[in-house]
Amino acid sequence: MGIAAKRRDSALSYTMIDRRRFNQLLAVLTAGASFGQVHRALAAAPARPLIMLDAGHGGVDPGAIGVVGTYEKNIALPTVLELARQLEATRRFRITLTRRDDVFIPLEGRVARARAANADLFLSIHADALPSRAERGASVYTLSEKASDRLAAAMAASENSADRFAGIKLSHDPVVNGILFDLARRQTSNLSIRLAGDVVNHLRQHVVMLPNSHRAANFVVLKAPDIPSALVEIGCLSNRTEERDLRRPSYRTEIARALTRSINQYFDTIT
Ligand SMILES: [Zn+2]
């Protein structure tokens, strides 16, 4: 992949609330709400969380190509469809997909869809190709801290960064907006790290993992500043054994099972 990766410490020592409640709270506070209004907003039963699943690549973009010619796009899509099926079966979530077919969607378009849908979670599914054919294993990425900082600064500075952010009507005061951006961005980053930790913990019980399984990178699809996001490389197509595994529906079902458990655990611990 040619990118600098570093281990992330997923041990978080403070309490987190889920994204929807956090945004509700920000919205009522910035509107100058009374304590009663804040209390009612927090007490309201939230809708089922909306999860946007993203099958990497598609259409003219095959993604990585395996030793015997397997296209990454053709591994990512059935994995996402199986994951969607399993998540829907829990009746706990609403599921939406960036693509259901072999179509090309630009990276920014995937993030835009997640934000337009007001998704509570964004999970992108890929398969890796590494320079060494001996290497195999899954890994999980969240947005690097530096990229996240730069993004927040750029969005806060931008005049046309949409009139709403994290579901909140923006203030005319750039200082207030800067604080809102920073709060939401930090919350998103913490939740993304929590999600990645849950994914690693469950995946490693089912499949081989790369060393330093949780990595940070500057992936475009992880750049929604207000939606907790992670990208899962479910294995290496550059490794002959893993390519064969990834082609097997039963293997992908197992991965989907681990991801379903991770997402369940994530929502168990943040709400
Ligand atoms: Zn990919």
Q: Is residue 1 assigned to a domain?
A: no
Mean residue pLDDT across the chain: 84
Higher pLDDT, 120 or 25: 120
Ligand 1 centre to CA of 157 (Å) is 31
Domain containing residue 218: CATH number: 3.40.630.40
Ligand 1 centre to CA of 19 (Å) is 27
The count of structural domains within the chain is 1
Write the DSSP symbol of residue 206: T
Q: Is residue 105 assigned to a domain?
A: yes
Ligand 1 centre to CA of 98 (Å) is 14
Q: What is the pLDDT of residue 12?
A: 37
Ligand 1 centre to CA of 55 (Å) is 9
Ligand 1 centre to CA of 181 (Å) is 29
Angstrom CA distances, 76 to 7, 90, 220, 258, stand at 25, 21, 17, 15
- For 184-220, b where at least 16 C-beta lie within 10 A, e where not — what string? bbebbbebbbbbbbbbbbbbeebbbbbeebbbbbbbe
The answer to whether residue 7 scores a pLDDT higher than 50 is no
Q: Are strands 121-128 and 229-236 parallel, antiparallel or unpaired?
A: parallel
Q: Is residue 231 assigned to a domain?
A: yes
Backbone φ and ψ of 270, nearest 5°: -105, -10
For residue range 171-210, list pLDDT tens digits in order: 667 777 777 778 888 899 999 999 999 999 999 999 999 9
Q: Is residue 171 assigned to a domain?
A: no
The answer to whether residue 244 scores a pLDDT higher than 80 is yes
pLDDT-derived band of residue 169, with 50, 70 and 90 as boundaries? low
Q: What is the pLDDT of residue 180?
A: 77
Q: Is residue 157 assigned to a domain?
A: no
Q: What is the pLDDT of residue 131?
A: 93
Ligand 1 centre to CA of 127 (Å) is 6
Q: Is residue 168 assigned to a domain?
A: no
Q: What is the pLDDT of residue 218?
A: 87
The answer to whether residue 170 scores a pLDDT higher than 70 is no
pLDDT-derived band of residue 163, with 50, 70 and 90 as boundaries? very low
Q: What is the pLDDT of residue 56?
A: 97
Ligand 1 centre to CA of 64 (Å) is 6
Q: Which residues pair with 230 in a beta bridge?
A: 123
Q: What is the pLDDT of residue 202?
A: 97
Contact at 8 Å (CB) between 256 and 76? no
Report the percentage of the chain scoring pLDDT > 70. 75
Q: Is residue 39 assigned to a domain?
A: no
Q: What is the pLDDT of residue 1?
A: 37
Ligand 1 centre to CA of 198 (Å) is 21
For residue range 107-119, list pLDDT tens digits in order: 999 999 999 999 9
Assessment of whether the complete model's pTM goes beyond 0.85: no
Domain housing 100: 46-145+188-270
| Average pLDDT, integer, range 34-52 | 76
Ligand 1 centre to CA of 128 (Å) is 6
Which tokens belong to 182?
A: 């920073």
How many angstroms separate the CA atoms of 128 and 136, rounded? 9
For residue range 44-75, list pLDDT tens digits in order: 666 899 999 999 999 999 999 999 999 999 99
Ligand 1 centre to CA of 59 (Å) is 13
Q: Is residue 22 assigned to a domain?
A: no
pLDDT-derived band of residue 15, with 50, 70 and 90 as boundaries? very low
For residue range 83-115, list pLDDT tens digits in order: 999 999 999 999 999 999 999 999 999 999 999
Ligand 1 centre to CA of 233 (Å) is 7
